[in-house]
Amino acid sequence: MQRQLVSIEKGLGPQGRIAVVRFDRGDNINALSHQAMRELRDVPRDFEDDLETSVVILTGSAKAFSAGFDLKDPEGRQRDSIPIGERIHRQRLGPRMCKAWEEMDQVTIAAIEGHCIGGGAALVVALDFRTCGRSAHFRIPEVELGMNMSWGSIPRMVALMGPARTKQAVILASDRISAPEALAWGLVENVVDDGQAFDAAMAFAERIARQPPIPVRMTKRTVNRFAHALDDLGSHMDAEQNVLTGLTEDYREGTSAFREKRKPAFKGR
């Protein structure tokens, strides 16, 4: 598949061991359409047999990492009119994208400027490290849209922030999580001046790239096995839950309110 929204540059940094992946739709929104998710899902395949790259930096545009799932994507809006089996199949695209990044052998770093919302947040918590600009913010809006938070992100968020902060971030869907809050909660590891997230991520990547590659890969794999050993227990039903919530009146109300720029009125049905 020819990439239109994602670019890859390899051979950077010490001994050419750093690669940069840029996701930029050129609109300062960077929503995750199905096309964008397929491109991002397939990026890790370019690194499967790459023994030269030790670190991969994923970044968005200069003003936005991602606004999350593209509710205006024509392909995405077909979900309301297709059979349940096909809905479940399509809903697995997001989880597969995140899982592919989590399972990369290379150390992965997200460089975040501006907003990182919904599916964007789900993607960055699948990476190893996160650096953001001081004005960056995070938000998990799915519950307010009448949906569950899916894509396998709940176990990853719990591993980073703990149960209480994860519940707060997901249930209080309207609340923005500022960069300082994200740092205090454990959602990100580094906050820098605006416009410096990529440079800071590159500086950190250079430190990793100077380490011996084989034990670095072994260490990442071992830590991930321990940290995510039970993830499948909580995430295997993600797609089914998302399809189920997509059949509710509250989902229709939540998405309608979003498009109409008003507060939703949920009824629990």
Confidence band, pLDDT 50/70/90 cuts, at residue 41: very high
More confident call, 254 vs 79: 254
Pairing status of strand 18-23 against strand 6-12: antiparallel
pLDDT of residue 230: 77
Question: Do residues 41 and 76 touch, judged by C-beta distance below 8 A?
Answer: no
Q: What is the pLDDT of residues 115-169, one digit of tens each?
A: 999 999 999 999 999 999 999 999 999 888 888 888 889 999 999 999 999 999 9
Name the residue among 70, 191, 72, 196 with its Cα closest to residue 137. Answer: 191
Sign, CA torsion 96/99/101/105:
negative
Lowest mean pLDDT among 78-82, 108-112, 199-203, 234-238: 78-82
- Beta bridge mates, 22: 7, 59
Look at the block and give the residue holding tokens 């300082």.
180
- Overall pTM surpassing 0.75 (yes/no): yes
More confident call, 94 vs 198: 198
Averaging pLDDT over each range in 10-24, 74-88, 242-256, which range is the top one?
Answer: 10-24
Q: How many residues does the chain have?
A: 269
Name the residue among 174, 207, 173, 175 with its Cα closest to residue 190. Answer: 207
Q: What is the pLDDT of residues 84-123, one digit of tens each?
A: 666 666 677 899 999 999 999 999 999 999 999 999 999 9
Q: What is the pLDDT of residues 208-264, one digit of tens each?
A: 999 999 999 999 999 999 888 877 766 667 667 777 787 888 888 888 887 888 888
* Angstrom distance (rounded) from CA 243 to CA 249: 13
Report the CATH fold assignment for 6-214+230-260.
Answer: 2-enoyl-CoA Hydratase; Chain A, domain 1 (3.90.226)
| CA-to-CA separations, 168 to 127, 177, 250, in angstroms, rounded | 21, 10, 20
Sheet with 6-12, strands from edge to edge, namely 6-12, 18-23, 55-59, 107-112, 129-133, 190-192
Contacts 24+ apart (CB under 8 A), 158-166: 159/227, 159/228, 160/125, 160/185, 160/186, 160/187, 161/185, 161/186, 161/187, 162/186
**Widest CA span in the chain:** 58
Q: Which amino acid is at 38?
A: R
Structure tokens at 224: 């991930």
Lowest mean pLDDT among 29-33, 69-73, 158-162, 179-183: 69-73
pLDDT of residue 187: 98
Question: Do residues 255 and 145 touch, judged by C-beta distance below 8 A?
Answer: yes
**Structural domain boundaries of the chain?**
6-214+230-260
pLDDT of residue 77: 58
pLDDT of residue 239: 67
pLDDT of residue 262: 87
* Mean pLDDT value across residues 187-192: 98
* Angstrom distance (rounded) from CA 149 to CA 155: 11
Name the residue among 78, 101, 103 with its Cα closest to residue 91. Answer: 78
End-to-end CA distance of the chain: 41
Sign, CA torsion 165/169/170/173:
positive
**pLDDT of 37 higher than 70:** yes
pLDDT of residue 47: 98
